[in-house]
């Protein structure tokens, strides 16, 4: 097995079990607002009673995923969120190799808090990746105004058709080629000879097959109790990111918030080593069950010409200088 799943607090696990300069990259979908994944709110979400989670109505007989309502966060929540990502950025800055990239999912309403935390931690902001995806957020009429003669043509905020992924890097000294030679990090893997990795991720919703895999992986005893992870990302997207994260196709990818295991499955499908950490017992068991099956899903990424790994004894980069 080329991956390891750990049930625990990512801050404690990283400090206790892994040395500094260990990981080559981080690809993760974190708890955006932090409070939605507290024990109290997760329990409410699982019981379908809401809280910070919005439980969408069924559509055409299909049960839809719950969504966290970030507009309910107060100033204290936002300060906690920023401190959380400062703490996360600090530990990642320590455990990443110089030049190691962090791909971290966010949301339009809160990404500046994530950025402030990472900036304070000393990580270097490189870009914002735009994932094209139609979400359920935004576009709603004012509450109680659906039939109002004047207000029914008003939306409280835009309908959201994209998801931001922040791209950060641990700073390094010297030139990129020297850092690649020493640490195998600092750059992004190109998609092909003709096309670099781009900041527009043309990707839609998670395929039904993958949602069903994760739902079946839920450790509940009866099918009626099983639910897919609310933030499951598609394998095509995660493999796109994992492919870009290791410029020389070698190294270990970390996901400190493993959820149902999408990042770990993507790394496994590409033949990369990975470590996933998950605090919630149910999500951890879900990932244990789901990762092998998600890794078997076919996507266009593994059909690329450079899919085979660079040999460990390949020529030195200095030979091409």
For the chain, give the mean pLDDT: 84
CATH superfamily, region 3-320 = Vaccinia Virus protein VP39 (3.40.50.150)
Cβ within 8 Å of residue 43, ≥6 positions away: none
Q: Which tens digit of pLDDT belongs to each residue from 177-220?
A: 999 999 999 999 999 889 999 999 986 788 999 999 999 998 87
Please state the domain extents for the chain. Answer: 3-320
Strand 162-169 versus strand 273-278 pairing type: unpaired
Q: What is the DSSP string of 37-53?
A: GSHHHHHHHHHT--TTE
17: left (phi over 0), alpha (psi -120 to 50) or beta: alpha
pTM over 0.85: no
> What tokens were used for 218?
């839920």
User: How many CA atoms does the CB half-sphere of 153 hold within 13 Å?
Assistant: 2
> What tokens were used for 28?
């993760």
Q: Which tens digit of pLDDT belongs to each residue from 12-51?
A: 999 999 999 999 999 999 975 455 445 555 555 445 555 5
């Amino acid at each position: 097995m080329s991956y390891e799943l750990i049930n625990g607090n990512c801050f404690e696990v990283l400090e206790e079990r892994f040395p500094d300069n260990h990981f080559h990259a981080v690809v993760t979908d974190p708890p955006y607002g932090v409070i939605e994944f507290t024990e109290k709110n997760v329990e409410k979400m699982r019981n379908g009673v809401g809280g910070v989670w919005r439980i969408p109505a069924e559509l055409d007989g299909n049960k839809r995923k719950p969504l966290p309502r970030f507009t309910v966060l107060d100033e204290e929540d936002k300060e906690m969120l920023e401190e959380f990502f400062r703490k996360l950025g600090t530990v990642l800055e320590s455990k990443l190799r110089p030049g190691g990239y962090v791909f971290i999912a966010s949301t339009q309403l809160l990404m500046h808090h994530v950025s402030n935390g990472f900036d304070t931690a000393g990580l270097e902001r490189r870009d914002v990746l735009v994932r094209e995806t139609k979400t359920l957020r935004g576009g709603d009429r004012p509450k109680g105004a659906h039939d109002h003669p004047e207000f029914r043509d008003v939306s409280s905020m835009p309908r959201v058709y994209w998801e931001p992924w922040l791209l950060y890097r641990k700073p390094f000294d010297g030139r990129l080629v020297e850092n690649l030679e020493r640490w195998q990090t600092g750059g992004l893997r190109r998609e092909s000879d003709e096309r670099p990795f781009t900041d527009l991720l043309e990707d839609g919703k998670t395929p039904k097959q993958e949602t069903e895999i994760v739902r079946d992986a839920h450790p509940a005893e009866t099918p009626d109790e099983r639910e897919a992870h609310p933030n499951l990302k598609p394998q095509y997207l995660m493999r796109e990111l994992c492919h870009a994260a290791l410029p020389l196709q070698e190294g270990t990818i970390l996901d400190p918030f493993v959820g149902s295991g999408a990042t770990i499955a993507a790394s496994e499908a590409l033949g990369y080593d990975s470590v996933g950490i998950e605090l919630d017992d149910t999500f951890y068991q879900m990932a244990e069950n789901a990762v092998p099956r998600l890794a078997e899903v076919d996507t266009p990424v593994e059909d690329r010409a450079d899919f085979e790994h660079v040999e460990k004894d390949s020529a030195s980069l200095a030979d091409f200088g």
